[in-house]
Structure 1
Amino acid sequence: MKRLLTLIERNIAGKKVLALFLLTNAVYVYMLAFTIPGTMKFSNGMKLLDMMPTGYDLNYVNTLFSSLGEEGRQAYLTTQIPPDMVYPILFGLSYCLLTGYFLKKLQKLNTHYLYIGVLPIISAVADYVENVGIIVMLNRYPNLTQDLVSFTNVFSVIKSISTSLFFIALIGLLLSFGVKSISRKKTNDNVM
């Protein structure tokens, strides 16, 4: 926790956090607007593995990869995966620092609330393992194994759970910040 605290304290200047947040979300919007739809045009409406928060099984992966065809599987490897190898580190750092920024504003940076900032890092690590698993599956197709799919699926689900928990916690943090800001403004107005 001490290392995380040191990392956050060194990097939570408002402009730095905002720039990283904007870059992270620009990459995310790029994937949502271009690379994911560009790959899904080959999938006959099936969701890509990255977009399956509750997971998938061997049958789904085989059906998806068959539906994608050679061109679609190549698009997955060369169009979707590259930005998705950049996004997790941006997500992990950006949202960890954003958490630290608001915790500092709430004067709770050096408390157990700091662990909220670990969730996007867990999500980022799980996303990388998921991506590597997808790359291996795409390269091995049609010779997929239940173990490989199950292993990759576990990290897809971990990514989804940690991301969901983080955003729930972030909403709570933002609400606390909003309440504190409104209370402070009312106090200042009453003093005048």
Structure 2
Amino acid sequence: MSILNSFLLKTSSVKKICISFVASHLVLLLMWLFTLPVINDQIGTQVFDLQTFGYNVSVAESIVDNLNNETTALYLFPQLSLLDVLYPFLLALFLSSLLFRLFKITQTKSKVTSILLVVPFLAMIFDYAENIGVILMITKSIEISETIVLLSSTFTVLKGLLTSIAWIAILVYAIKWFGIKIIERNKKQTTAHHPKSSGNKF
């Protein structure tokens, strides 16, 4: 944990948080504009990665069967082996760095906050694990079975769940920070309007 904290200490400046935000969402934009529409149109549904609540064997078989050679190649590269390698890391970096900064400026430190800092990187790991499962299925390197679909689907759901937890934590601690700022501002205004009496001199 101390290694992660040392790392996040270097990545949690406002400038670096903005850079990781822009970089991650630029990659996301590239996916939404160029690769995902083509793949989704070909398979007639959302790609494995976007099946928020998971999928079963029949859905997995349908996706694989609807892929042609050209779309499979696009799915493999640049979607899975480039864009969906960069995006999970950049997003995890952004989310964890922002959480670290929010914890620091709200002076919040506990076991919960330590766990929350790890959550985005756990989501990243599940995203990569999901990608491996998808690659095995769409290249037909492995038979589409209950086991591989269950594993891949579970990774998809966990990835989404953990990412949502990170965003919710950011919202909660951002609200806490705003609350602290409002209280501090009110105190300053009260002090300015009602200065302490210096006493009467005779």
Residue 25 of structure 2 corresponds to 25
Shift of 1:142: 8.2
Residue 50 of structure 1 corresponds to 49
SS in structure 1 opposite 2:54?
coil
Contact persistence 1:65–1:141 (CA under 8 A)? no
Per-residue CA shift, 1:82-108, capped at 9, x if unaligned?
Answer: 201111111111111110011111112
User: Which letter maps to 2:140?
Assistant: R
Contact persistence 1:43–1:72 (CA under 8 A)? no
Unaligned 5+ runs, structure 2: 193-202
- The yes-or-no answer on 1:60 pairing with 2:59 is yes
Shift of 1:141: 6.5
SS in structure 2 opposite 1:47?
coil
Larger Rg over CA atoms? 2
Contact persistence 1:129–1:155 (CA under 8 A)? yes
SS in structure 1 opposite 2:139?
helix
Distance 2:6 2:78 in 1: 36
Distance 1:141 1:11 in 2: 39
Shift of 1:19: 1.1
Unaligned 5+ runs, structure 1: none
RMSD across aligned positions (CA): 1.7
SS in structure 2 opposite 1:9?
helix
Residue 101 of structure 2 corresponds to 101
User: Which letter maps to 1:87?
Assistant: Y
Percent sequence identity over matched residues? 23
User: Which letter maps to 2:147?
Assistant: D
Q: Which moved more, 1:121-130 or 1:170-179?
A: 170-179
Residue 39 of structure 2 corresponds to 39
SS in structure 2 opposite 1:140?
coil
Runs (4 or more) in structure 1 with deviation over 4 Å come to none
Residue 8 of structure 2 corresponds to 8
Contact persistence 1:55–1:154 (CA under 8 A)? yes
Per-residue CA shift, 1:107-152, capped at 9, x if unaligned?
Answer: 12x4322321211111000001111111111111684222222221
TM-score between both structures, scaled by the size of structure 1: 0.90
Residue 150 of structure 1 corresponds to 150
Number of matched residues?
190
**Equivalence map 1:75-114=2 (5 Å):** 75-81=74-80, 82-108=82-108, 110-112=109-111, 113-114=113-114
Contact persistence 1:53–1:160 (CA under 8 A)? yes
TM-score between both structures, scaled by the size of structure 2: 0.86
